[in-house]
Structure 1
Amino acid sequence: MTLNRRRFVSLALMPAALDALRPAGAMEKPYPNRPIQLVSPYTPGGGNDTLARLVADRLGKAVGQTVIVLNKPGANTMIGNDYVAKAEADGHTLVLDGNSLVINPSFYRHVPYDTIKDLEPVSFIGFSTVALACTRDLPVDTVQELIALAKSKPGFLNCGTSGHGGPGHFAGLQFGQMAGVDINFIPYKGTAPAMTDLIAGHVHLMFTPLSTVPHGKVKLLAVATKSRSLQFPDVPTVAEAGVSGYEAFLWFGLITTGGTPRPILDRISDEMGKILRQDDTVKALAAMDILIGGPEYATPEKFAAFVRADLEKSARIARAAGVRPE
């Protein structure tokens, strides 16, 4: 080999040699190094979309990058979740989801991702109240009267839902199972059309977010949470009204791609923790009927443990209700 040839080879190898001398991680750009995508697995204008845009604005300012909300509705959030499950595991793609994440494996035969392996819980946001409402023409004013009517006319009551396997459907299944009544479930393409038919009397009842109940147009029989709503303190809980132990709620959290490095998960979780402790955030979420989660959900590990437990609970309830995945 000639001298010039040796010199060329030496120069060619120098970058690799220098890279090997750099500390681990020195070549990596700090997170985030480009805009973050935040998927809302619902249509624009709904509650999830509104929350996603609030989170996007505040998280973007906190991390110094634009956070873009992408609406990817369909298949009871599975389209949006699948998009994130198949993204690069670098924390630049998130999804805002909740109950449907843990319900879907019990209701659908073909979930295109592994809920535990392909998705990574990052930051728990909070809970929202589920309400039990009925049409004004239904001759009941309490949960006990509703149960008595259902028992006297098995299969008579129709319950509108935002979709097959949605949180309202699941809350209704749990209610029927625990109250010992037979209810028909009518799926709609979203909460709004189901509520329109409830107001018109085309369905008899709904389990729906409290924030969607048009007061005066339907009867608010109970709230499904453990404690009464601060907004409507005179409205009993379902448990108080006679179905002991009953509880249903909506929950929301940020989830990213499985295998995302721990430092990135911690960064997102830490920034969201700061955001959720800000007074203006607390007030904004309260106006959306969202109560921020406590310290028992405050880390990625704790959030992941909650998701696993909710998956198991959902599976037990679905099996007991005789749900056959479609």
Structure 2
Amino acid sequence: MNLKSLLLACASAVALLVPAASVLAQDYPAKPVKLVSPYAPGGSTGVVARLLAKKFGDQTGGSMIVENKPGAASNIGSDMVAKSPPDGYTLLMGTSSLAINPTLYKSMSFDPLKDLAPVTALISSPNVLAVDASLPIRSVKELIDYARANPGKLNYGSSGNGATNHMAMEMLKTMAGVQLTHVPFKGGGEALAALLGGQIQVMFNPASTLQQHHNSGRIRMLAVTSEKRMEGLALPAVSETLPGFESSVWFALFAPAGTPAPIIQKLSAETNKALADKESLALLKEHGMLPLGGTPEQLRALLLKDTARWAPIVKASGAKVD
């Protein structure tokens, strides 16, 4: 076969595949879709996963089943999805950890940028900076001044090495030029218990977990990590003291690389529709989350941007996982 005949044959094959892919998307979902959450049940990830599963079923007439696969800072569940058949029936509830882990881990069994197909960004969930209420600290500036006057004497907790609240504090340390001592825990709940018990003095955590303790006077919420102030939360943004500071956690939907484009587009459209629903917006607001939405291309750009943004911060922190 000469080159011209080969090219014509390839073109004909592609032409046959395009209608087949379109038909596949029209029939999708023909069976239950598995949504892998790479964290333990509960928490913010669980809220978003359950919401997406319900709305997906309501909108498509199909079903979406949430399966928790926790471990290795989301790597176990993410790897499982990356190695699943690219047919749209195994999806990932990915988070900002996909941008942090490539620098944090010495080696990974998958590449988030190559082995996962972006679908849609789901939500952004800012953290809140909180301190032990017994400290004479009522603002980000006062925290920085106190830390400078008492280098290394403030302990801060996190959900674990490389967690988003660990990296957020490392960013604050770098930008403010202060020293705080990191105490990693197995989750945000354990770190919060340590703050309430006086074992640590500072931490970042979602507002929904901190508000009741702030109201009771046991801790003091200082500022939010979103780029600007959040509606419904009477707190300044950290960026008002440290310009350029932003450290919101994002959740997003991914599929295995190679999933047909028509299925990706259908998933993206259904997800954007779910995020715009009044019931969804009310639930997200209740949990201090901001809906994102958008295209697969916008999600890929977000992952690329955050991978580059977090790499120097992870390296400067010295955190490393084998």
Please say if 1:166 is aligned against 2:167.
no
Higher alpha-carbon deviation: 262-271 or 207-216: 207-216
Secondary structure of residue in 2 paired with 1:97: strand
Residue 76 of structure 1 is matched in structure 2 by 73
Higher alpha-carbon deviation: 308-317 or 194-203: 308-317
Distance apart, 1:244 and its partner CA: 2.2
Q: Which runs of structure 1 show a deviation greater than 3 angstroms over 4 or more consecutive aligned residues?
A: 22-29, 319-326
Size of the alignment, in residue pairs? 301
Q: 1:133 aligns with which of 130, 133, 137?
A: 130
Secondary structure of residue in 1 paired with 2:126: strand
Q: Contact conserved, 1:136 with 1:219, CA < 8 A, in 2? A: yes
Q: Contact conserved, 2:104 with 2:320, CA < 8 A, in 1? A: yes
Give ranges in structure 1 of 5+ residues lacking alignment: 1-19
Distance apart, 1:269 and its partner CA: 0.2
Aligned partners of 1:26, 1:314: CA distance in 2, in Å?
A: 41
Question: 5 Å matches for 1:299-310?
Answer: 299-310=295-306
| AA at the equivalent of 2:237 | T
| AA at the equivalent of 2:136 | P
Distance apart, 1:325 and its partner CA: 5.2
Q: CA RMSD in A?
A: 1.9
| AA at the equivalent of 2:266 | R
| AA at the equivalent of 2:220 | K
Query: Please, what TM-score do these two structures have when normalized by structure 1?
Result: 0.87
Query: Please, what TM-score do these two structures have when normalized by structure 2?
Result: 0.88
Q: Contact conserved, 1:135 with 1:200, CA < 8 A, in 2? A: no
Aligned partners of 2:74, 2:317: CA distance in 1, in Å?
A: 22
Q: Contact conserved, 1:40 with 1:95, CA < 8 A, in 2? A: yes
Residue 186 of structure 1 is matched in structure 2 by 183
Task: Encode CA deviations 1:227-286: one digit per residue, 9 max, x unaligned.
Answer: 1122223x221122x222211111111111111111110010011111112212111211
Q: Contact conserved, 1:40 with 1:52, CA < 8 A, in 2? A: yes
Please say if 1:87 is aligned against 2:84.
yes
Larger relative helix fraction = 2
Residue 224 of structure 1 is matched in structure 2 by 225
Please say if 1:311 is aligned against 2:310.
no
Secondary structure of residue in 1 paired with 2:39: coil
Give ranges in structure 2 of 5+ residues lacking alignment: 1-12
Distance apart, 1:56 and its partner CA: 0.6
Secondary structure of residue in 2 paired with 1:116: helix
Aligned partners of 1:59, 1:77: CA distance in 2, in Å?
A: 23
Aligned partners of 2:140, 2:287: CA distance in 1, in Å?
A: 25
Distance apart, 1:322 and its partner CA: 4.6
